[in-house]
Every structure is written in C-alpha cells, then in structure tokens.
Amino acid sequence: MNLLKDNWTYAKVSDFAELLRGISYKKDESRKESQKGYKPMLRSNNINYELNFIDLVYVPEKKIKSIQFIKEGDIIFAMSSGSKHLVGKSAQSKCNYDGSYGAFCGLLRVSNLMNKKYVGLFFKSQEYRKYISRISKGTNINNLKRDYILEIDFPLAPLNEQTRIVEKIEELFSDLDKATEDLKKTQEQLKIYRQAVLKAAFEGKLLEMGLAKYSPFSEICDINPSKQEIGELNDDLEVTFLPMLAVSKTGVILEKNIKRLKDVKKGYTFFKNGDVLLAKITPCFENGKKAIVKELKNNIGFGSTEFHVLRPKEEVISEWIYYGVSLEDFRNKAKSQMTGTAGQKRVPKRVLESYAIPIPTKPIQEKIVKEIESRLSVCDKVEKTVEQNLSKIEYLRQSILKKAFEGKLVSQDSNDLPAGELLKQIKIKKDKMSKNGK
C-alpha cells in the first residue's frame, strides 16, 4: 500500500491499542434497574456511532474487572449481534464511565501516546465501513473476530498532525452538526403536523363527519384472517411474498418477490389486495412500518409473521383503517401494552381488537382521506428535501474524513516527529509496562 505522505506510515491497530472483551453474566444475575452493588452495562444496541444510555442492563460490580470499566477515549464496538447492520459499529466514550460493556462488545483502548479522538474518527469513516462490508460479504457474518479490528491497516499521522486534524474536523463538524440539528427539528415538526392532521380528521375537525359511531377494529376488520380460502388453489400458483424489509415507514412497499404458493403457505402470514399490514414487533412497530397491500400476484400475498393483517369489511375503506392505525393515540396505547422481552416485544392482537375509531359513511371516509392525503403530500415533499439535505451532510462528513486520513485536510510540518518514530515510542512504553507486569 502506497504511503500518502513522507512522515506518515501504515500501522496495525494492535501496534497502538489493545482490544478487551466484555463481561459475561447469567440472565438471572442481571437487573433492569440500578441498585446497590450493581453497575450499568452497555450492549450492542447502545452503540450507533455515538453511545446512548437507553435500556441499560445492570450487573453485579464484582463481575467487572477494573480494566473493564470504560475510560475516556475508549472505543466500544458491537462485535456480535442478531442484527447484522449493528455488527462493526463503534462509538467513542467522551468521559470516564462508571460502567462496563457486555460480552457481545469489544473495547479498544488506545495508547496514551496517541490522539485518541483521531483513532475514534477513523472508525466513523467510509474507509472503515467499506472494510467491514468486505469482510462480511458472502459470509452472513454476525460476529467480528478480534483480528478484524486489530489487523486493520491504519493510516497513522505524526502526533502533532493528529491533533491538528482532530481540531479541524471538530471545527467543520460543528457547522454540520448545527445544520443537522435544524433539519431534525424540521422532521420533528413534520411529525407533529402529520399527527395534528390525523387527529383533526378523526375528530371531525378536518371535515364534518356527522354523528359517526365508534367501532373497534374487531368489528370493522377481519384481523389476521384465516388461510382457509387458499385451500383449493394449485400449489404451483405464483403469489407475492413481502419480507418485513419490503415495507417502509411511509407506507411504501419497496419490493415484491414472486414465489410458489407451496413454498410460503405454511409458516407465513396471509393477506390480499386492500388489506392493511401493520408491523407488530419492536423496533418495526415504533418505526411506523405499515402499508396497504396492492397489486399482488393473483391477489394473494404472504409475508413476515411479524405483520398483523387488517382486512376491512364492507362499510370501511382500506385508507381509513391505515390512517386509524397511524394515529398517535393508537400507537401510544399499543406500545404501552406490548408483550415479550426487551428487543422482542410485540403488539398483541387484543390491542387491535379493542381499539375503536369513528366510522362515518364510506363517501365521507373517502372525502376525509382525500383531505388528509392532500395535506400530507406537502409534508412528504418537505420530508424528501430534508432527507436529501441530511444525506448531503453525511456525504460532506465522509469527504472530510477521507481527506483527513489521506493527509489532505491540514498542512504537514517537517518538524513533526514522524509517525514511524511515534510507533517506536509506543512499543518502548508497551514493553516497559509488560516487564512491570502491567
């Protein structure tokens, strides 16, 4: 590999850092709440390029070695996860943390002779992401080996230049952070507006709906209808198959797979054109995954068992059901009654069966839906612009990081101690500590 600058070098991550594995514990040893003698533990779901401290688990302090407490500058990796997209993600601790991390995580502790922020920024770069993508391609990898991290060819700048690079990145990122914050505020305002439109619609304030009676979904829909009607169909009939990933949070079906009936009729959820799909598992439910099914092959579809299916009865149109399950009031009640363990929570069928919405006549439903969609289409356009701008900001971040690790972001100084000499100093210190039993 060609070096980009004379005073830079490529080093293995193991030359200047050590990777520590997390703590193992039995399920009955952990606690959901903080209590005396227990310390918080981060898991893979707490890592997403920044650390979050949501949904923590607490374990006995005696199980944590002193070296496993998180220190400022430590980089925590998701080394193993049921969600492939989480594996390899990292986040750097901004301060000493009186807690640790689980066995499915790894912690990279960087030499004090390095600028630790410089190292942390590399693991946010596109170069690193591409590396993880390469090693995982074709292997269905859900685990990172230690060597995948420690053997990375790391572009090492002289220490003084590392500091200049970090300062310049922080300056540039500060402006991008402010722009990102403003755009995310706009997204939140759009969410509030969307819900205000839906609330007004179902309260008769968007258009007068008269004295509409309230009916639970169980009276106006078949919920999770039986597969009996497909019993006489040919097993070789082509039907549409929708995995959970095919349904977006905006109600768009992103892809349609065609399969034989015999390959999907057992073990999958059944639906037809006009049915409303509602994701029932976390985090897909919280992310708002739902859709009205249209243009199914032979009017038959199958998909993830993590969908609830609502089939409208004669007096109600599909869009009225779709917007009914989009109401914030429904979603809050459903979320509060989810069952199961953390990471595997589901909305039970009984929540749908009991939740009631107003049912005006079909012509009024159609008029109100038209008004809803007219207003929400404006939101969609603004949302699209916001998302495009967020993508541009992310592109700019990656461009800055790319220049930084190519030695093109800040000027070089011939008086800086070359990176090769820095590595020698780190090795001397490591050898000395090893002799001292540290």
CA atoms within 13 A on the CB side of 263: 10
Question: Domain limits of the chain?
Answer: 11-158, 159-211+360-416, 213-359
pLDDT in tens, 218-269: 999 999 999 888 878 899 999 999 998 899 888 889 888 999 999 998 889 9
**Helices and strands in the chain, H and E counts:** 11, 19
Q: How far apart are CA 81 and CA 86, in angstroms?
A: 6
- DSSP secondary structure string for all residues of 279-338: E-BTTTTTTT-EEE--S-GGG-EEE-TTEEEEEE-TTS-HHHHHHHTT-HHHHHHHHHT-
3-state DSSP assignment of residue 372: helix
Top pLDDT among 82 and 247 is at 247
pLDDT at 123 over 70: yes
Task: Give residue 85's pLDDT band: very low, low, confident or very high (50, 70, 90).
Answer: confident
Q: How far apart are CA 136 and CA 82, in angstroms?
A: 14
pLDDT at 110 over 80: yes
- Give the H or E element holding residue 182: helix 159-202
Q: How far apart are CA 286 and CA 86, in angstroms?
A: 18
Residue 221 near residue 313, CB atoms below 8 Å:
yes
Q: Is domain 159-211+360-416 annotated with CATH 1.10.287?
A: yes
DSSP-assigned letter for residue 334: H
pLDDT at 132 over 70: yes
- DSSP secondary structure string for all residues of 128-139: HHHHHHHHHTTT
Q: Is domain 11-158 annotated with CATH 2.60.40.2470?
A: no
pLDDT in tens, 280-335: 998 899 989 999 999 999 999 999 999 999 999 999 999 999 999 999 999 999 99
Q: What is the pLDDT of residue 153?
A: 94
Residue 149 has φ and ψ, to the nearest 5°, of -90, -50
**Amino acid occupying residue 275:** D
Average pLDDT over residues 98-122: 96
213-359 has the same fold as 11-158: yes
Taking the C-alpha atoms of 205, 206, 209 and 211 in order, what is their torsion angle to the nearest 10 degrees? Answer: -10
CA-closest candidate to residue 423, choices 129, 132, 113: 113
pLDDT at 6 over 90: no
Q: Is domain 213-359 annotated with CATH 3.40.50.10420?
A: no
In this structure, the number of other CB atoms found within 10 A of the CB of residue 398 comes to 15
pLDDT in tens, 364-420: 999 999 999 999 999 999 999 999 999 999 999 999 999 999 999 999 999 999 999
Q: How far apart are CA 257 and CA 22, in angstroms?
A: 40
Task: Give residue 438's pLDDT band: very low, low, confident or very high (50, 70, 90).
Answer: low
Q: What is the pLDDT of residue 1?
A: 46
